[in-house]
Structure 1
């Protein structure tokens, strides 16, 4: 017979086995032996005692160490003997008249004390009585007891060893006269004491009142780290366990086995009245009301609320129980106030040495494992507890299954009941009472900055402004915060999470007022907050939920702002249309009371990105930056290089062609064709003036003269100069013609009628005899034409070199200044 002492189930903590032997006197030598299976070891546990009128021999366990004493004298500890829990152990007390020896399993010949030193008689009682447990409610033993024997002689060490090995020696023990039990003691038949010496089973059958078809049953057992009943298992032994089990209703049992195919599966049918069993076939979709799993012996489970408590899974007193090393027991029991329609318990209860217990009701389809709300008996206190096999780096789903902790709150459902996602997946722990949003984490917080130039939308030349869409990302850490559920990838904070935390305040000095208001109030702004892990987290349990927690110092907060800003820019059109405009955007951190944030000036602390882009009028460079203002301001610079190809094709080339046409009137028109030369030149001058007038209406407004203005002025002046040259040439030509004489002789005489001297006749040159040859004269008009043409060309070269030099010099100065700034590679 096996006696199970359960003092923890009664508030008076009484459970005792009294064995009276058929012997009135105790000789000078005796032996007491007992098999013990302690459920747990308390600080002080009374194992057994042998009582007499004046004194007693008591064996106790104190802090796991066996103590023995002949009370009220001679208490003595024996530090080499330790009683283990959850395993059968054989304990023998041997007296030889002078000494007492204590044998625990294979540890023998342990001298405890010399009885003569205690000055007591060896005749302790008139009848031999061995007490296991206590009836006083103190130092109660909890566990199983069997094989209590008393010998009126001293057993040798070999005989004790034979008893330990369940051999036939030392059978001449004193017969038991009476057996009494007090308190909460249950009894069941062991079926042969030799079973105590057999190796412990590595598995046991755990029965769950969960309805399941074959795939569901197989999945349940796999989830619990176990298996279905297999063809190699001892069906007869399992049937006997099922008959004795208190975990299931008093009905016949039908249990799925792993003998199955896609359509059918074998079911172990057990008659609980007779213990008979057989295998029957059912379709795999058949739903059975009970599921059995072969669980590993002493498998470790974990009970979690705000802490983790290890529990050992055992089969104790015909029930499946979870036992902690501190003596807490969790098992199925009837609910305190109700049962189901069949009178069967649907509650889990947790007991602790007779103190107030906690319990939770099990709904349909629920059993021992999973997350439940527990109620402290006779109070209105509730708390969540989870029981599962999930270790430190696992998350316990509500149904007791386990997933990697990193998969919790990743946006993908991994638990079948979806308990790894949902409203509990907040990233920021509740703020501490001392947290004030308007106060900085430090007096000088360091803020990282990322600016990405998405697009330059437009350039408003008349307004001296440009519109640009940029992403501004602020990065900082707040060691006052605590985060949870973070992954390697950044995660987005919800509005209710970031509204309560400190955020750096930005302002843009050269942006328009409306843009600064929009950024400050977060209106019309794409604004989001993300967090990214920069250090290692640590697992923690909060209200029975496993979470990965990160300190604020190990988490980078990112505030991303996307907005189309309008910035002012002073445009310089002196070299239009070959101008380069230097524009900038200034980003500053606002200083507040007792808080002076700074940009992170370390390498990589500030990054400005954005590829080269183009507008209809400008090519836009890659952005560069510099930091100023004691590290509180950062300026992003851009170069706008105007596209001048269209102006070259539509303005400069036509004007140059017109100038060369005007030049051709000097070099290729006959000097005598004054009317043609002057009309062509005048027409070209009119065309140039018309082009200049037409172009001026489309040029950017600016009080300063532009390069194109100087170019047109030069072209008009050039053609005007040619016009004047033509005029001077014609005047010179006519003057020369008047002074030249023909090579003939003229006869002069007095006109009698008029009374004046006049030419009367001409004689041809062939009839005139010339005494001297005629002198060679310089053709002044043609000379003026050639000299003017050369002078105009020289002037063209000088002006072209001057314009090119000034334009290139301006480009180089601006480009060198720009490229001397910082750039993000």
Structure 2
């Protein structure tokens, strides 16, 4: 600053100090600029020419715009000979906090506060040292709290020290550290020895009322007089400009591109193609575009692409982002209509090489033409560099700037990425190269050769690195503006992180479906040994769940059954880590080449007999049960990493199992069979791994009705085998006896009834009676033979066998009874009766004998009518009781 300018500024500040207590939003405000370019240094500061008196109450207000952050952004440092931090006020960008230390290091307070770069922070902090309470007001928002400290005497800020702005003192005017300096703009600094009210602090930080009732002890009303200025510049800024919350800005990328490539560049940089919304906005864009008129354009004065496309069907100009009609435009008198082509975009005349009436005019243009993109940003977008090692000297976060008349990427702390013209002595490139460097360590450098005139360092690129502590000469680095829960494609575009490895290509370059291994076996992993037990006294639990899909066959003759199973094993292997897990478990299938330790199972039938197991398919999956670990930007891609101890491995196998079952057919066809199928962990004892049911352990999802039996229940129960842990599946089958009742019992019983009806035939008609009985007996025997050939053969009698025996016996007894009745009627002897006359007595004797025989036969026939039903009833009762007890 020249002496005359400094004198004029001093006069202005003196006038403001005498006549005005504070400023209005339209008034100019002195602003001090610290280290706005170049490396961090300890040479920039303001040293207060006076000193402070003793204070028990203090209010500190300031307006800060951080240009490039330091480890600690020191605003205010007041030191005494015996204490470097009698007052220390700073901002920590990384931790998003305001730090206040005072009073011989008795009070140390760190207050959470949103901190942004290149945006004004208007802050007031009121500290009551007597009550140990504080109030913070930032941009009109209030936070308050207290400090729990113990002090033997009343806490005070002591007098007689040295006050420095912009550097942290470890001793009086000494102990400076460039990493604890200030890079940015500081305005309206005020130090009060009283507590301002909350309303006063709100008004100051929201620019509603710039006046305060009390006069500050220290302020910026006359910077040049009140402070010793060391390597900083002092200028003016409108008060209202420090109160703008959302800092919108536009950047022109001075390379020719077609519309789609321009749109992609803006999207990758975190912005959108600019669309002016009113005449003032359009005129500002025109002024912004003038320096690029020579580099941009197609010869017709159009220089920039705007974010507008034409719709032929609707004959409307739409925003390319949301396809909504635009609310303002500056076309010719015809408003750009009619729209003649479906592939038409809008360009902007940003050159004075035309008539004045066409300045800032919008022109319909073919989208395939090449012009420069102008990108609009609602805020400072942080572009992260991924792939650097943890100890790297380079910054990890950058933002786009146009500070030194060229577009560059400025690191949040100490680095910068700038574009250089071709220089074959440095790098073999026809288009130039990008240089990544540190201001304070010029020997630490990385170079990216450009492969085209429009090549920017965004996306995935291979850099040539020199002197970085990571020790690699070539490093693949990803520069991305993607925010949390987003995935960066190789070209720099962003997609939802959930779309990573979901079997659908979402990135334009398809990189979201590349390297989709959910599990990578770590070095030294032994897949033959189970995971280590977290608690040595407790074995590892492997959870077993069996889904019975169907019962394919119950073979009574072979004493075995066949079923379709889906076996699910679930366990935790803390030795592993998983990548980009989906909530959809089927998408987390592990490659067969990367198999970890998997429990081995053995299937046994009744009596520990070996089962026949045919594997249909198998897969190993990972079930997401917990949130991923915090993102690690040492990885190029935002792959979520999951701890093995919090997420489960799922081993799924679909099997066809044929196993033995000891059927007991005594109650056939009213029998209920209980079968067991054991699942045993083999190759390891239950001291290390045990098999436990997962929930109830087993479920049946198939058709329960089989050919002859119905599955009525299934359950899982513990069944170890020696030192091996196991579980047994108990299956209960119930014979569907309705078939035998209708096809065997009812027909055979009907035959018995038919045989019984012969006792109601005339007793003299022996031939018909005995033929019916014999026919029933023969049919019953035939039934017995046929049924016996279709049911399992056993050495013991089954209920169905007993039934047939009864039916045959009862029919046999019927035939015998008929023969006996016939014999009684025809052949039995009768006692002789002495005749009265020889001739007459003979006639009476024959008649009496036939009558007596007939009577006896009738009596026996009637007895059969009664006896046979009683015998049948007794049999039924015994048969039913026996069937229920079996």
- Alignment TM-score, normalising by the size of structure 2: 0.65
| Residues 570 and 35 (structure 1), Cα distance of their counterparts in 2 relative to 1, 3 Å cut | closer
Is the 1:438–1:502 contact (alpha carbons within 8 Å) kept by the matching residues of 2?
Answer: yes
Q: Determine whether 1:538 maps to 2:629.
A: yes
CA shift digits 1:192-217 (9 cap, x unpaired): 97679994793444233565444654
Is the 2:606–2:675 contact (alpha carbons within 8 Å) kept by the matching residues of 1?
Answer: no
Which of 646, 649, 659 aligns to 2:739? It is: 646
Q: Which residue of 1 aligns with 2:579?
A: 484
| Residues 360 and 783 (structure 1), Cα distance of their counterparts in 2 relative to 1, 3 Å cut | same
Instruction: Output aligned runs, 1:330-729, within 5 Å.
Output: 330-334=417-421, 337=424, 344-347=431-434, 349-351=436-438, 353-364=441-452, 366-377=455-466, 381-423=473-515, 425-442=516-533, 444-494=539-589, 496=591, 499-510=594-605, 524-541=615-632, 542-592=634-684, 596-600=688-692, 604=695, 606-611=697-702, 613-629=704-720, 632-670=725-763, 672-729=764-821
Is the 1:485–1:547 contact (alpha carbons within 8 Å) kept by the matching residues of 2?
Answer: yes
3-state SS, counterpart of residue 319 of structure 1: coil
Aligned length: 676
Q: Which residue of 1 aligns with 2:404?
A: 317
Q: Which residue of 1 aligns with 2:143?
A: none
- Cα offset, 1:640, TM superposition: 2.5
Is the 2:611–2:660 contact (alpha carbons within 8 Å) kept by the matching residues of 1?
Answer: no
Is the 1:371–1:398 contact (alpha carbons within 8 Å) kept by the matching residues of 2?
Answer: yes
3-state SS, counterpart of residue 317 of structure 1: coil
3-state SS, counterpart of residue 639 of structure 2: strand
- Partners in 1 of 2:384 and 2:865 — Cα distance? 105
Q: Which residue of 2 aligns with 1:13?
A: none
Is the 2:711–2:732 contact (alpha carbons within 8 Å) kept by the matching residues of 1?
Answer: yes
- Cα offset, 1:527, TM superposition: 0.5
Is the 1:41–1:64 contact (alpha carbons within 8 Å) kept by the matching residues of 2?
Answer: no
- Partners in 1 of 2:816 and 2:84 — Cα distance? 137
Q: Which residue of 2 aligns with 1:221?
A: 266
- Partners in 2 of 1:251 and 1:674 — Cα distance? 126
Bigger radius of gyration among the two: 1
3-state SS, counterpart of residue 316 of structure 1: coil
- Alignment TM-score, normalising by the size of structure 1: 0.69
3-state SS, counterpart of residue 863 of structure 2: helix
Is the 1:511–1:566 contact (alpha carbons within 8 Å) kept by the matching residues of 2?
Answer: no
- Partners in 2 of 1:243 and 1:637 — Cα distance? 85
Q: Which residue of 2 aligns with 1:56?
A: none
3-state SS, counterpart of residue 546 of structure 1: coil
- Cα offset, 1:565, TM superposition: 0.8
- Partners in 2 of 1:552 and 1:160 — Cα distance? 58
- Cα offset, 1:587, TM superposition: 1.3
Is the 1:38–1:143 contact (alpha carbons within 8 Å) kept by the matching residues of 2?
Answer: yes
Instruction: Output aligned runs, 1:73-112, within 5 Å.
Output: none
3-state SS, counterpart of residue 402 of structure 2: strand
| Residues 678 and 297 (structure 1), Cα distance of their counterparts in 2 relative to 1, 3 Å cut | closer
Is the 2:296–2:304 contact (alpha carbons within 8 Å) kept by the matching residues of 1?
Answer: no
- Cα offset, 1:777, TM superposition: 6.1
Any gaps of 5 or more consecutive residues in structure 1?
Answer: 2-18, 22-32, 51-60, 90-98, 119-137, 146-156, 171-180, 182-189, 747-761, 811-825
- Cα offset, 1:801, TM superposition: 0.9
Q: Determine whether 1:301 maps to 2:383.
A: yes
Any gaps of 5 or more consecutive residues in structure 2?
Answer: 5-29, 48-69, 93-116, 122-159, 186-215, 312-343
- Partners in 2 of 1:561 and 1:540 — Cα distance? 34
| Residues 317 and 144 (structure 1), Cα distance of their counterparts in 2 relative to 1, 3 Å cut | farther
- Cα offset, 1:468, TM superposition: 0.8
- Partners in 2 of 1:88 and 1:612 — Cα distance? 71
Is the 2:751–2:776 contact (alpha carbons within 8 Å) kept by the matching residues of 1?
Answer: yes
- Partners in 2 of 1:140 and 1:440 — Cα distance? 48
3-state SS, counterpart of residue 544 of structure 2: strand
3-state SS, counterpart of residue 460 of structure 2: strand
Instruction: Output aligned runs, 1:244-323, within 5 Å.
Output: 254-258=303-307, 261-262=310-311, 263-270=344-351, 278-279=360-361, 281-296=363-378, 298-305=380-387, 309-323=396-410
Which of 857, 872, 882 aligns to 1:796? It is: 872
- Partners in 1 of 2:353 and 2:219 — Cα distance? 39
| Residues 595 and 314 (structure 1), Cα distance of their counterparts in 2 relative to 1, 3 Å cut | farther
- Cα offset, 1:334, TM superposition: 3.5
CA shift digits 1:61-81 (9 cap, x unpaired): 996558999xxx999999668
- Cα offset, 1:559, TM superposition: 1.0
Q: 1 or 2, which has the higher strand percentage?
A: 1
3-state SS, counterpart of residue 488 of structure 1: coil
